[in-house]
Structure 1
Amino acid sequence: MRRDPSDGAGTGDTKPADLPTPVPSDSRDAPRLLLVSYHFPPAETVGARRPAALARFARDHGWDVRVLTAIAPSPEAGDAGLAEASIVRAEPTPRLPRLNRSAGTGTSATSGAAPAPTTLASVRAVAKGWVWKAGMELLVPDPQVNWIRAAVRGFLRGPDRWRPDVIVASGPPFSGFVVASSLARRFGVPWVADYRDLWSVGNEYWVRSGPRRALDRRLEQRVLRTVTTCVTVSEPLADALRSTFGVDARVVMNGIDRRPAPSPAGGPTIPSAATLTLAHTGYVYPGKRDPGPLLDAIALLGPDAARVHVVFAGDDHGIVRAAAERAGVVDSVTLLGHVSAEKSWRIQVEADVLVLLMWNDPRDAGTYTGKIFDYLLAGRPILLLGYEGGVAAELLRTRGAGVVGNDRESIAARLREWLAVKDRTGRVPAVAASALDGLYREDQLSGFLEILREAAERGVPGSRARAATTSRRH
């Protein structure tokens, strides 16, 4: 008989009686929060930002915060924002091969396309793609499944007697939800699921087969039986959670992370010969984020195409190169490959216009890609290729921060307007600073803390809470 993965099966033989003894209520100086997130600094991934910001914000507002993560410490990467003693870093075991869609080499390709890949490289890329697909299909709930057991056991075997009042898990990966629900059951405390993206009903869902989709839906339903509240980044996504799983779902948007102006050291990072420079930073995902209409629009400019240049910084899976070749605008494209976070920030600030590639499909209506907030901080107007009825498009329109275009004719017309502005004034105007009002990370996290306070005060309802209390008394 299959056991519910959310009940802590396979996580060791620790019994509730083995857990730390709760501190008497009259001696608790601060509410205690355990944050479970596979991604956390020193990782520079976008997935680490929201959990790290929440942990720091809660600490700064009087919470006693502990973090459970898989990311190892790194002195070279600097401070994670919390005392290292507050972070439990449990290494996944056994180690699994890293699954990665990208077949790129990480080399730069400026002034056009890189040399064609060798036959061996092409075979390796195809094989890597099949391995990735197989891993996505077979590893449940995700390729981080090998972290569940290690994370639960690592936290329970911690050196002190600390125990949380509430647990919040941030996903993806959603193995962290299984970890949180297991720990919440063992401690007899409520837990909150923070969906940075959705799981089985998500707009970026990666599973192709019907059976696997059904399996994930059942697993998610089981895990959410014990959840107190779900949090996600937009109202359409919250509606999807409510209608699918019948849970309490709240909205806490992502936000702009404040950062200093980029260092001028090393000179400009993007070409200066073109009149109008556009930039895209980050991954280009196959199938759903298509640069083709933009490159086709440049081709429509005729002689003016030579005055427009687009810089792509990040793994592109060969998509940009192929689209540039089809459009005949190879000379208008620079491919930098993977760059550091600092260089990516400098590229954004130095560009005339920033390109945001999203999925032009109603299923992407509720997506705020994390990149949109980085772009807003850079202060450059944004050209969004994506669903015009989505929350990202609405944010740009209402804030006066950019435009949406999906066909080559409308994009070409917009490029001509920007060229004309630069001819007249020498620059494309920056986005007004007021467009960022209320969008900083701290503006959003106040609401998140209130949700966590409510969850901690509400506790675990019914017999589950009584059982946990009984187990602690014996």
Structure 2
Amino acid sequence: MPKRVLLIGYYYPPEGGVGAVRIAKFAKYLSDRLDIHVISSQPNQNNRPSGVSDESGATVHRVKRPFNGVEKNFDNIRWSIPVSRKIHNLHDEFHFDCIWQTANPFLPLATVPFCKKIIDTDFIVDLRDSWTLHPYNDLTTTFGRLYEKTSQFLEPRVLRAADAVTVATDGIRNAYADEYPEISGKLYTVENGYDREDFPQLETKPRDEFEIVYAGKFSDFRDPDPFLKALSDIQSQYNVSFVHVGNLEEHVRDSIKRYGLKQHYECTGYVDRKEVARRIQRANLGLAVSGGSPQEMTTKIFDYMACNTPILGCGPDGSMIEVIERFEFGYVATNETSRIKNTLLEIIEQQPESLGSGPYAEYTRERSAKKLANVIRNVVE
């Protein structure tokens, strides 16, 4: 009889986002070897369709969100109480061999030390991003400071209560092993990855120019200026266009104007996953920009892998750069204009038609699910 495992995540399809996709893909690829149940919040009906579906066949249990409307980080802690109650009731009925709970949001992880005292089963905590060690937190508001204090109180208690901790990058694992050496032996890297089924080969229109695509948000911690200045500098030599697949960001628009790139720039706005795939497949190069932390592994590089599109990664040595460098036409540069410019010129001269050879199989969602299954096996046996 297969082991029965409960996966818990605040977001789950039909909602989108990296967090929803992470738990959904584990549910999909673990269901062929484990009896998978999922606890998630009720989806927000006001959100636009995400294009992400639940393909797992898992049994999904919904727990109402604390309230409807715009949520702040601190609000999510109120989900912990009904979730703890749901975990207890479901465990009485199904007798789970293991419970895995993923974050962000982080504060609902308060369920772990509480439930460990009343439920006799193993708990695995999953940190998709760093919690208190996140390099890009900006907690200057009153609620931000309250969130920080609460997180500093909860994080060590959650991690020490867990039987294992999975994280999405080696950089995060190293940071937490340094901060909490007593838990280093129960830290495991289980990466995100790509699902080839999400990226079928699509018909694309031929391009007249060299096209660079960026899929997703820059946010306020990734600096696009060095890349955009480099792009401006090479326009006198080559006709290169830049396509930002995602919603318009004001600081990006301002930089586009500042560097005279308006005629070479397109921002698609929100598009569904099929159109994201089409845009990546038609591009000559996929761009990834790090916020500057070695912990970071932007998931867009997995989308580029799935589409076999050459990659330019701009950032310091760390998790993202290490992966990109493993591919034949994966290029890297520090996030400095001169380095990026020289690398762009090299790429345009070479005109690679694909990402080339590399360890694609190591970065599939199926492979990640197998790694998580091994962690679960180690914990419960």
Q: TM-score range by the shorter chain?
A: 0.7 to 0.9
The 2-side partners of 1:345 and 1:168 are apart by 30
Name the SS for the 1:398 alignment partner.
Answer: coil
CA deviation map 1:253-291 (0-9, x unaligned): 222222242443xx64xx934x210000111111x2111
Q: Does 1:382 align with 2:353?
A: no
Q: Does 1:165 align with 2:136?
A: no
The 1-side partners of 2:174 and 2:154 are apart by 19
| TM-aligned CA distance change 1:47 to 1:152, over 3 Å | same
| TM-aligned CA distance change 1:66 to 1:302, over 3 Å | closer
* Alignment correspondent of 1:324: 256
> In 2, are the aligned partners of 1:36 and 1:180 still within 8 Å (CA)?
no
| TM-aligned CA distance change 1:71 to 1:368, over 3 Å | farther
* Alignment correspondent of 1:87: 60
> In 2, are the aligned partners of 1:181 and 1:191 still within 8 Å (CA)?
no
| TM-aligned CA distance change 1:150 to 1:210, over 3 Å | closer
AA partner of residue 283 (structure 1): K
Deviation at 1:333, TM superposition (A): 0.9
> In 2, are the aligned partners of 1:256 and 1:374 still within 8 Å (CA)?
yes
Deviation at 1:172, TM superposition (A): 0.9
* Alignment correspondent of 1:440: 364
* Alignment correspondent of 2:343: 414
The 2-side partners of 1:440 and 1:76 are apart by 21
The 1-side partners of 2:113 and 2:227 are apart by 45
> In 2, are the aligned partners of 1:278 and 1:310 still within 8 Å (CA)?
yes
AA partner of residue 167 (structure 2): T
* Alignment correspondent of 2:353: 429
Query: What are the ranges of 5 or more consecutive residues in structure 2 without an aligned counterpart?
Result: none
| TM-aligned CA distance change 1:211 to 1:333, over 3 Å | same
* Alignment correspondent of 1:250: 188
Equivalent pairs: percent with the same residue?
22
Task: Output the aligned Cα RMSD.
Answer: 2.6
| TM-aligned CA distance change 1:169 to 1:158, over 3 Å | closer
Deviation at 1:71, TM superposition (A): 4.1
* Alignment correspondent of 1:56: 28
Deviation at 1:76, TM superposition (A): 10
* Alignment correspondent of 2:320: 392
> How many aligned residue pairs are there?
370
> In 1, are the aligned partners of 2:12 and 2:21 still within 8 Å (CA)?
yes
| TM-aligned CA distance change 1:65 to 1:180, over 3 Å | farther
Deviation at 1:78, TM superposition (A): 7.7
Q: Does 1:233 align with 2:168?
A: yes
- Equivalent of 2:234, from 281, 296, 301? 301
The 1-side partners of 2:90 and 2:122 are apart by 20
Deviation at 1:302, TM superposition (A): 4.7
AA partner of residue 378 (structure 1): C
Deviation at 1:234, TM superposition (A): 2.6
| TM-aligned CA distance change 1:449 to 1:337, over 3 Å | same
> In 1, are the aligned partners of 2:171 and 2:295 still within 8 Å (CA)?
yes
Deviation at 1:73, TM superposition (A): 9.8
- Equivalent of 1:371, from 287, 294, 300? 300
- Equivalent of 2:43, from 59, 69, 72? 72
* Alignment correspondent of 1:103: none
The 1-side partners of 2:218 and 2:52 are apart by 28
CA deviation map 1:172-209 (0-9, x unaligned): 11134223443343322120111111101122334247
> In 2, are the aligned partners of 1:168 and 1:180 still within 8 Å (CA)?
no
| TM-aligned CA distance change 1:35 to 1:180, over 3 Å | farther
> In 1, are the aligned partners of 2:243 and 2:268 still within 8 Å (CA)?
yes
Q: State how 1:32-431 maps to structure 2 within 5 Å.
A: 32-61=4-33, 63-72=34-43, 80-83=54-57, 86-95=59-68, 97-99=69-71, 135-136=72-73, 139=74, 143-157=75-89, 161-208=93-140, 213-245=148-180, 246-247=182-183, 248-259=186-197, 260-264=199-203, 268=205, 272-273=207-208, 275-286=209-220, 288-304=221-237, 307-360=239-292, 364-387=293-316, 389-405=317-333, 406-422=335-351, 428-431=352-355
Name the SS for the 2:302 alignment partner.
Answer: helix
Query: What are the ranges of 5 or more consecutive residues in structure 1 without an aligned counterpart?
Result: 1-28, 100-134, 423-427, 458-474
The 1-side partners of 2:217 and 2:91 are apart by 40
Higher relative contact order by CA 8 Å / sep ≥ 6: 1 or 2? 1
Deviation at 1:153, TM superposition (A): 3.0
Q: TM-score, normalised by structure 1?
A: 0.72
> In 1, are the aligned partners of 2:6 and 2:98 still within 8 Å (CA)?
yes
Name the SS for the 2:121 alignment partner.
Answer: coil
> In 2, are the aligned partners of 1:57 and 1:442 still within 8 Å (CA)?
yes
Structure whose alpha-carbon radius of gyration is higher = 1
AA partner of residue 293 (structure 1): P
The 2-side partners of 1:210 and 1:400 are apart by 45
AA partner of residue 214 (structure 2): H
Deviation at 1:233, TM superposition (A): 2.2
| TM-aligned CA distance change 1:419 to 1:79, over 3 Å | closer
Name the SS for the 1:161 alignment partner.
Answer: helix
Q: State how 1:2-21 maps to structure 2 within 5 Å.
A: none
The 2-side partners of 1:76 and 1:445 are apart by 22
> In 1, are the aligned partners of 2:40 and 2:63 still within 8 Å (CA)?
yes
The 1-side partners of 2:99 and 2:176 are apart by 19
> In 2, are the aligned partners of 1:256 and 1:440 still within 8 Å (CA)?
yes
> In 2, are the aligned partners of 1:352 and 1:380 still within 8 Å (CA)?
yes
